[in-house]
Structure 1
C-alpha cells in the first residue's frame, strides 16, 4: 500500500512540522508506574551507542501484534517486514488469535528460543508480557514496543504513532465541534487492558473537564475487544441503554468500522455522530454515505517501517534506547529517541470527504 505521491509529500511535511508533539501513546508514562526501576535505563547507561555503526546484515526481526487477524496491525507488520529487506534482514509476524492479556507470552518464549535479534510487540497488557521480555533482553535480544506500550522497563524503545495527549484530546475536540459542545457521548474502546486505548481515554476524560465541555457528558466506556461482532453489539447496546446518546468515539480501527456499520443501516444515521481512529479504506464508504463526517489516523505503513529500522539500529549498536540518541529510518529520515525510550512517528491525519480518496491503506 502506498500513499499517492502528492499526499505523501503533504503528510511528511506535516509530520516534520508537528514532530514535537508531546503525546505518549498507548502504554507510555500514563499507563506505567513512575516508581518502577528501569532495567532498560541501567542497560542504556552502561552500554555505549555507536552512531556510525553500519546496520548489521541478516538481522532477524519478529513482529508480535495484539492479535494476528487484526487488519490494522497486519498493515503495520507487513510494512515492517518489507522494511527489513532494505537492510538485508528478515522479518516475520507471529501472534495469538485473541487479544487477552497473557496471550502473547508463549510467543515471546518461542521467539527467545529461536534467537531472534529483536522482538517488536504491540502489547495487549503493559505488565503481563514483562517477565518473558526481560528474559529476552538479558539474552541480548532487543525489545521494541509499538502501537501499544509495555511497562517502561520491559523494552528498550517504544515507537509511538503520535502523541498520546494529542490523540486523546483531539478525539474530544473533533466530536465536540460536530455536536456543538453539548450532548451525551460514549467511548467504544478495544480491550480493557490495552495501554494505548487507556492512555488516550485518560486524556479524553481530562479534556472533558474543561469548561468548554460543561454541556457534554461521557456516559459510558464500552469494550469491543477489537472484535468486529462484539464491537457491533456494543454499539447497539450503547444506543439502547442511552436513548439520548449523541456521539460515539471509537479510538480503534475495528471499533469505529463496526459502529459505523451498525449506524449506517439504522434509524440513528444522521442523528448519532461517529468519530475516532480508522483506516481510509475501511471507512471510505461510511464517509461517502454520510454516516461518518470525519475520522483520524496516522499512516500504519510508516509505523511498521519506523519500527523495523529502530529495532535494527538497536540490534546494530547505533543506539541503546537512551534519550537524545539519533538514528536514520530509511526513507523516513532522521529520528531522535525521547524520554523513556519513546520515538514519535508524527501527528495523526484527519480524513473526510475532501481527502479520503487520496489515501490507499
Structure 2
C-alpha cells in the first residue's frame, strides 16, 4: 500500500453502499478492482518489482540466520497461529533461529520500538505485520540499509520499505467472499455495519474499500449504516457491536467483523442480545474462536485463510530472499510443503484464495 489518506477517507462514503449515519467507512482511497459478480476469475497482470532493496547484506546462502517476527501484537489466537507457522518452517529449514516478539496491543509506536531494538541488537531478517503502512516504513527502511532482509505478511507497509509481502489472499477476493456471504444471509437490501480495528490498519482499510466497490457493482442495494473502530480489543469490540445492535434495532441485519477479535466479539454481542438469526455476523476469524457460535447457528460463515500456513509461507519467503533464490522479476517461489506460490503485483507472494468455514467443515480445523 502506498498511503492511506484519513482526510479524504473521512470525507467520502464507501462507494456503492448507502449510509445512514457516518460518512466514515474505514476504507482507504486507493483504486479498487472488484471481481466479477459470478465466479469468473480475474486475469493476473504482470507488474515490475516495486519492493525495496537491501544494502550491504552479507552472503547468507545456506548459512544459519537469526530472524525476528514482530506482528501487530502478540497474545491473540491469530498471531499465535502465524507464529506457529513461522516456527514450523524454521524447524523444517533447519538453518533458521526464529522468534516472535512484539507489543501486547495494536500500537504502531510500540511496534516500531520493538523493530528498532532488534535492528540494534542484530538480526539477519525481520518479519512483520504492520499496524500502520506509512508509519512503520522508516524503521523498515533502516533495517534494509543495515543489510537486514525484510519480509511482511498479513498487513503490508509501503512496498519500498520491505523486499516482499506475503498476501494471505487478494483484497478483492476477501471482499467478494465477505459481501456475497452477507447478502446470502441478510438479503440484498440489508442494513449492515462494520466493526474494524483501527482506521489506519492497512489490510482492513483495503478490504473495506474493496467491499464497497464490489457491493456497488454486484449488490447495490446493500446499505452501510456505520463503521466503528474497536482496536484489537475483545471488550471494546463487544461493546461496539452491542452499541450498533441497540442503536439501529431492526434496521441492522448484519455485522461485518474485520478482525479475528472483532468477529467473535460481535457474535457474542448478537448472542447476548438474543439476535441470532436476526443479525448475521460475517467476518474474518480463526475457526476455534467461532466454533461455539457456528455450532449454535448464530454464525453461518467465517471467512479466512490458514494463518499457520501464512506464517509458514512468510518464513519460507524470507529464507529464499536471504539465499538469493527469490529475486526481483521472479514469478514463483518454492515454499516448502506449500509447493510453489505465485508472485503478484510486483513484490507480493500470494498464499491463495480465501476459505469459508461453515458448520459442515469447521470442526476439521484446529487453530
Scaled by the length of structure 1, the TM-score of the pair is 0.84
Secondary structure in 1 matching 2:108 = coil
- Alpha-carbon spacing, 1:349–1:172, altered in 2? closer, same or farther (3 Å): same
Residue 208 (structure 1) aligned with residue 208 (structure 2): no
Deviates further, 123-132 or 327-336: 327-336
Residue 43 (structure 1) aligned with residue 33 (structure 2): no
Residue 226 (structure 1) aligned with residue 236 (structure 2): no
Q: What's the CA shift for 1:236?
A: 0.7
Q: Which of 70, 74, 77 matches 1:64?
A: 70
- Counterparts of 1:249-328 in structure 2, within 5 Å, are 249-320=256-327, 322-328=328-334
Instruction: Assess if the C-alpha contact under 8 Å between 1:181 and 1:215 holds in 2.
Output: yes
Cα distance in 1 for residues equivalent to 2:287 and 2:168:
16
Q: What's the CA shift for 1:225?
A: 0.5
Cα distance in 2 for residues equivalent to 1:314 and 1:284:
37
Structure 1: gaps (5+ residues): 1-25, 32-37, 48-52
Secondary structure in 2 matching 1:144 = strand
User: RMSD of the alignment, in Å?
Assistant: 2.4
Cα distance in 2 for residues equivalent to 1:195 and 1:258:
21
The residue number in structure 2 matching 1:97 is 104
Q: Which of 189, 196, 201 matches 1:189?
A: 196
Secondary structure in 1 matching 2:134 = coil
- Alpha-carbon spacing, 1:176–1:86, altered in 2? closer, same or farther (3 Å): same
The residue number in structure 2 matching 1:346 is 352
Structure 2: gaps (5+ residues): 1-26, 33-47
The residue number in structure 1 matching 2:165 is 158
Q: Which runs of 4+ in 1 moved over 6 A?
A: none
Cα distance in 1 for residues equivalent to 2:180 and 2:147:
43
Instruction: Assess if the C-alpha contact under 8 Å between 1:40 and 1:154 holds in 2.
Output: no
Q: Which of 137, 140, 147 matches 1:133?
A: 140
Instruction: Assess if the C-alpha contact under 8 Å between 1:109 and 1:132 holds in 2.
Output: yes
Cα distance in 1 for residues equivalent to 2:316 and 2:49:
23
Cα distance in 1 for residues equivalent to 2:51 and 2:156:
16
Query: Larger % of helix: which?
Result: 1
Cα distance in 1 for residues equivalent to 2:281 and 2:329:
38
